[in-house]
Amino acid sequence: MVIESTSIEVIETIEELQQRLNRNERKNATVGFVPTMGFLHEGHLSLVKHAKEQNDIVVMSIFVNPAQFGPGEDFESYPRDRERDLRLASSAGVDIVFIPSVEEMYPSDGGIRILPGVQANMLCGASRPGHFDGVLKVVLKLFNIVDPDRSYFGLKDAQQLAIIETFVRDFNLRTAIVRVPIVREEDGLAKSSRNVNLTAAERSEAPAIYRALQIGSDLFASGFDPETIEQRVGESIVSNSSGTIDYVKMLSYPDLGPVTQHSSEVILACAVKFSTTRLIDNIIMSTKDGTYVQNDDEQ
């Protein structure tokens, strides 16, 4: 299907997409892939921008993946708006949108699971058991269906990105993984599809999360230890918002082990629960001339 007045192709079945992207047909054209769960925002559009700069064809998937939601999580209430997503994807220059149904993606379940390694034991993996199994399951299916040259993932989901990089490396998957910086609102809140589920009061408090992370990043640059920093960041979030802390953690990145003097990249990550919405955010710092500096976000 081609949406009127745009040239975006909307494909709903695996068979049709595989035919369309068959390597013999696409010849030397490179494919950049942007997997999403829809309800697009500037963070997704930044992934598309990077994909367009580096590839001939940009494919986006929109699929709210039930396999990565646990019991009691927000699968049902996860925001969805197909028409708006198609308009945004089209104006961002996406060539093909793959928007399958749950039945199309999971017609049967043979019970085979993909289990991530130690990188999934902490941060979101600790409070969302099975979440990354579900992410790897859908990502592997999508990679097999789209067969992209490059796939684009946002650093807001830094743990997801680290696990996917390891998966691709360990299993020799064909796609390259491209890291794309976090996109923030003007007040510092990381863009997220879930932000619409915050109440007005929570939305006005939520920038406290990034402010607290920045305090933590400054403390790290001044030589404070990870434990003290985690504590100070948590205190700052709690005293400036009604959110409750799921975790605040400082780790070496992307291995997600303890911070050591050999860590060339360090992540300070947190998850904060508001009434119905759980937000995650992070700052990644890299060593430059012997000191740690915060990696740039996209504004």
Please report whether residue 180 would count as binding ligand PAF according to CB under 6 A.
no
CA–CA separation, 248 vs 227, rounded Å? 10
Q: Which is nearer to ligand PAF, 34 or 212 (CB)?
A: 34
Q: How far apart are CA 166 and CA 188, in angstroms?
A: 29
177 is a site residue for ligand PAF (CB under 6 A): no
Half-sphere exposure of 177 (CA within 13 A, CB side): 20
Q: Which residues pair with 95 in a beta bridge?
A: none
* Listed ranges 78-86, 134-142, 205-213, 283-291: which one lies at the site for ligand PAF (CB under 6 A): 134-142
What residues contact residue 34 under an 8 Å CB cut-off, 6+ apart?
44, 47, 48, 51, 58, 59, 60, 61, 94, 151, 152
For 119, residues 6+ apart whose C-beta sits below 8 A from its C-beta are 125, 159, 162, 163, 166, 254, 255, 256
Per CB under 6 A, the segment of 4-12, 114-122, 135-143, 207-215 that binds ligand PAF is: 135-143
Q: Sign (positive/negative) of CA torsion 116, 18, 179, 265?
A: positive
x-or-dash string of contact with ligand PAF, 65-84, rule CB under 6 A: x--x----------------
> Residue 157 or 202: which CB sits closer to ligand PAF?
157
Q: Does 35 contact ligand PAF by CB under 6 A?
A: yes
Alpha-carbon gap, residue 285 to 298, rounded angstroms: 15
Residues 40/43/46/47 CA torsion (nearest 10 deg): -80
Minimum CB separation of residue 295 from ligand PAF in Å reads 19
Q: Binding of ligand PAF at residue 135 (CB under 6 A)?
A: yes
Q: Any residues with CB less than 8 A from the CB of 6 and at least 6 apart, and which?
A: 90, 91
The nearer residue to ligand PAF, 117 or 258, going by C-beta atoms, is: 117
37 binding ligand PAF? (CB under 6 A): yes
58 versus 212: smaller Cβ distance to ligand PAF: 58
**Known active-site residue 44:** yes
Among 40, 60, 138, 180, binds ligand PAF (CB under 6 A): 138
The one catalytic residue in 41, 44, 131, 262 is: 44
- The DSSP bridge pattern shows strands 150-154 and 31-36 to be parallel
Binding of ligand PAF at residue 46 (CB under 6 A)?
no
Q: Judged by CB under 6 A, does residue 157 bind ligand PAF?
A: yes
As annotated, the active-site residues are 44
Q: Residue numbers of the site for ligand PAF (CB under 6 A)? A: 35-37, 65, 68, 135, 138-139, 157, 160
